[in-house]
Amino acid sequence: MDSHYNLEPFVGMVIRGSGALVTVHDAAGGEWRCVLRGRLRRMVGNATSPVVVGDRVEVRPVGPGEGAVEKVLPRRSHLTRRQPLGSRRDTGQRGEQVLAANLDLAVTVVAAPPRPTVIDRYLALVRAGGCAALVCVNKVDLVDRDTVEHAVAPYRLAEVPLLLTSALRGDGVDDLRRQIGGKLVAFIGPSGAGKSSLLNALDPALNLRVGALNVAGKGAHTTTWAATYRVADGLVVDTPGLREIGFLENEGADAAGDLFPEIAALAGGCHFRDCTHTHEPRCAVKAMLEAGELDEEVYRRYYRLARSGRH
């Protein structure tokens, strides 16, 4: 733990935290609680985080298990989102937010049969950040083999790394475990695709909550807490906003069209063309909701995603 105390600065990896206080892992496995120094500290609170989970940083020890981050090394890869819908409107400006750095692999989980537009959107995001990609088509237990193969044929042709999985039945889980071994990994993809279920299948001891819908706008997913946890032999990044990242890259009805066709079908009736169906007046979606014509649970899922990442 105090192996570097009184020593020269060392390079470690940020495994937890955000803002001005982070936890850094050193090469020997020790954990260091670190504050940011100087220019880095002054950047905290801007739209972009100067230091995120996965960053390799130079730490100067100041006490046993305590240090100061003096420098962030250049990022090899990253997952970045634009500012989410709501806050962009509030501030009237666009920003980018790096959610994780130096990922060795970004696993996109989609439910079978997958929609190509959804896969493409995530792949674009992953490649833009320079991350290696793996697509998991999950829930293959629910769809017949031919339908799945037909849907994934273009990706096989394009040699996109692909796994067919079932968190329920166990298909592909051993392959997935091998793929994430020794790597820093993020699981992304639409809500309900089975990310938590797959992680539980990889390591039942995780016991992540599955299929749990929070009350709109509240709950663990809206905090700024960021961390990593061991899954099998890999290290999985969990940062608020990361799971929903692809959704937030799109605007209003566009994103709803991909993930919530019920809502997209109603959006044409809203007064504002860029209505997000969260707070705007004369919203056709909310009118239908109040009239009992739109499933409340569908709206709740939509709302949570549309608002996640707001601070």
Residue 71: beta bridge partners?
A: 58
Q: Which does 285 bind (CB under 5 to 8 A by kind): Zn ion, ligand GTP, none?
A: Zn ion
Stretch that binds ligand GTP, among 82-90, 195-203, 251-259, 273-281 (CB under 6 A): 195-203
Cβ closest to ligand GTP, residue 169 vs residue 279:
169
Q: Which of 275, 288, 294, 306 is close enough to bind Zn ion by CB under 5 A?
A: 275
User: Cα–Cα distance between 291 and 311 in angstroms, integer?
Assistant: 31
User: Cα–Cα distance between 33 and 38 in angstroms, integer?
Assistant: 17
Q: How many helices (H) and strands (E) are present in the chain, helices listed first?
A: 11, 13
CB atoms within 10 A of CB 182: 10
User: Cα–Cα distance between 275 and 94 in angstroms, integer?
Assistant: 18
The answer to whether the CB of 166 falls within 8 A of the CB of 140 is yes
Q: Which of 51, 186, 270, 288 is close enough to bind Zn ion by CB under 5 A?
A: 270
Question: If binding is defined by CB under 6 A, does position 138 make contact with ligand GTP?
Answer: yes
Q: Which residue is nearest to ligand GTP (CB)?
A: 194
How many CA atoms does the CB half-sphere of 37 hold within 13 Å?
A: 14
Cβ closest to ligand GTP, residue 133 vs residue 136:
136
Cβ closest to Zn ion, residue 80 vs residue 278:
278
- Minimum CB separation of residue 269 from Zn ion in Å reads 8
- Sequence-distant (6+) residues with CB within 8 A of 112 are 137, 138, 139, 140, 142, 143, 147, 148, 151, 164
Q: Which of 141, 144, 233, 290 is close enough to bind ligand GTP by CB under 6 A?
A: 141
Cβ closest to ligand GTP, residue 16 vs residue 195:
195
Contacting residues toward ligand GTP, per CB under 6 A: 138-139, 141-142, 166-168, 191-197, 210-211, 243
